[in-house]
Amino acid sequence: MIKLPKDKSIAQRCAVLNLEFDESFIGEDVKNTLHAANQFASNKEDLTLDLGNSGTGIRLLTGYAAGFGKKCTLIGDKSLSKRPMRRISDPLNNWGAKISLRDDKYPPIEIGKSKLQSNFVYELEIPSAQIKSCLLLAALSSKTRIEIIENIPSRDHTERLLKECDAEILIEGNKIILDGTKEITKKFIDVPKDFSSAAYLIAANILTEKVIPLVGIGVNETRTAFLNVLEEMGANIELHNYSVISNEPRADITASFDKKLKGISISGQKIPNLIDEIPLIAIMAMFAEGKTTIKDAKELRYKESDRISLLLSNMKKFNPNIGLKEFDDGFEIIPSKNFNNDSVDLKTGGDHRIIMSFMIAALATGKKINFDETESVETSFPGFYQVIEAWYP
């Protein structure tokens, strides 16, 4: 059975809320969030909390810390220090927090002593589980009430986790209402295996025509739009042994295809629940028939790297014959099957998803890739290279 890490989105939420879970196979992002959350839980004042490369961790913990009103500073590595944070600091400051950013944009995030208003209403301007979760955790730690209006659904792991822990949370249409005055019940959370990690092996199975089952994968419907895309491209996806544990669904996944893959167009409300898998979709598009177009995905420019420009520049190196167009919020791919066998040097920007995506492309072609670094993969999928060597030789 292929070994996959625990879902890092859920695990980091458990870490911030000090909920027990199996920590035996987690990536560096989760470890950094765990360490920072444990530091924050101490009685010390004026702490400096290092979140490493974890964009999820720093945003979740900022909300939780702002709710407590305890003075602290949140920092990250070189990559995280370039990621915009006003999307969380603005609503929190409007709520009553005292948060300042470097250049009014970036970490370090300085949180001063403050008290949030007893009631707050916020309409999400962009679909973002990180912003939504940041605010929900702030309401919980400050023991206040929040109403969030979410016009385009995003990942709902925080809502599910809070329900599992008996929080006073209500979902009414596009409104999420949390009364943080009620204490949650601390309990063990059975975290499923990470879907975003499994996605690379699902793609590998399709492109190498292997049928290797992936067991116990989280299949929360706000995360699995990638499977719908693969089916639209012509793949066969099957789920087995479906169950719901700790309020999160999981299943075994098999994937294959018996026809040619075809290019597709993706935009609009489909994008938020696909955002992490878009680089991998681009790789699949290289082996499809016909054009693939991605739009409304500008969020990709604010990840560990500018994933749009870096992805396309590497694709051109990987296959100089491919047709590419870059948009402000996406790209167009016109594939070419004329791959040469030359080895290629690729830039990673310290981005684990860029590395793993092109490793899957290498499996499909046999092309040798030289990356400028590979350590960043440990942030999300420890043991990735060993899995590839053992199961896709």
Check residue 200 and give its pLDDT: 97
Alpha-carbon span 300 to 89, nearest angstrom: 20
Q: pLDDT (tens digit, 9 = 90+) per residue, 136-168?
A: 999 999 999 999 999 999 999 999 999 999 999
Name the pLDDT band for 76 (thresholds 50, 70, 90).
Answer: very high
* Mean confidence (pLDDT) of the chain: 95
pLDDT at residue 177 in the model: 98
The single residue listed with the structure tokens 């929040």 is 146
Contacts of 272 (CB under 8 A, 6+ apart): 127, 128, 152, 153, 154
Pairing verdict, β 106-112 and 323-327: unpaired
Residue with tokens 């370039």: 82
Domain count, the chain: 2
> For residue 44, what pLDDT band results from cuts at 50, 70 and 90?
confident
Average pLDDT, integer, range 292-306: 93
User: Which pLDDT value is given to residue 249?
Assistant: 98
pLDDT confidence band for 259 (50 / 70 / 90): confident
45: confidence class by pLDDT, cuts 50, 70, 90 = confident
Among 117-126, 255-264, 320-329, the range scoring the smallest mean pLDDT is 255-264
pLDDT at 201 over 80: yes
pLDDT in tens, 361-388: 999 999 999 999 999 998 889 999 999 9
SS3 304: coil
How far does Cα 232 stand from its chain's mean position?
A: 22
Confidence of residue 255 (pLDDT cuts 50, 70, 90): very high
- State yes or no: pLDDT of 229 exceeds 90: yes
Backbone angles phi, psi at 178, to 5 degrees: -125, 125
DSSP output for 16-34? HTT--B--SS--HHHHHHH
Q: Which residue has the higher pLDDT, 325 or 302?
A: 325
Hey, is 117 helix, strand or coil? coil
329 in active site: no
pLDDT on residue 99: 98
> Cα–Cα–Cα angle for 170, 55, 113, nearest 5°?
70
Closest CA to 13 of 225, 253, 184: 184
Q: Rounded to an integer, what distance in angstroms lies between the CA atom of residue 11 and that of residue 380?
A: 11
With beta carbons less than 8 A apart as the criterion, state whether 229 and 274 touch: yes
**Confidence (pLDDT) at 271:** 92
Domain extent at residue 320: 195-391
Name the residue with higher pLDDT: 259 or 321: 321
Residue appearing with tokens 């929900």: 136
Q: Whole-angstrom Cα distance, residue 222 to residue 53?
A: 23
Residues 130 and 258 in one domain: no
Mean pLDDT of 3-19: 97
| Contact in structure between 281 and 292 (CB atoms under 8 Å) | yes
**Quick one: 100 and 226 in the same domain?**
no
Of 132, 149, 179, the last residue of a domain is 179
Is residue 1 a part of any domain in this protein?
no
Asked if residue 160 and residue 248 are part of one domain, the reply reads: no
Question: Quick one: 303 and 371 in the same domain?
Answer: yes
Give the active site residue among 7, 77, 276, 351: 276
Cβ-contact 218, 10 below 8 angstroms: yes
Q: Same domain for 158 and 216?
A: no
Domain for residue 184, yes or no?
no
Same domain flag for 44 and 142 = yes
User: DSSP strand E in the chain: where?
Assistant: 47-50, 72-75, 98-102, 106-112, 119-123, 145-149, 168-172, 175-179, 214-218, 236-245, 248-256, 265-266, 292-294, 323-327, 330-334, 344-346, 369-371
Task: Give the residue-averaged pLDDT of 200-225.
Answer: 94
In the predicted model, what is the mean pLDDT of residues 283-308? 94
Q: Which of 149, 179, 209 marks a domain boundary?
A: 179
Percent of the chain with pLDDT over 70: 100
- What is the predicted pLDDT for the residue at 373? 93
Q: Does 190 reside within a domain?
A: no
What CATH code is carried by the domain that includes residue 145?
A: 3.65.10.10
The pLDDT of residue 338 is above 90: no
- Listed residue (387, 388, 283) closest to 339, CA to CA: 283
Between strands 292-294 and 323-327, the pairing is unpaired
Whether residue 332 is predicted with pLDDT greater than 90 in this model: the reply is yes
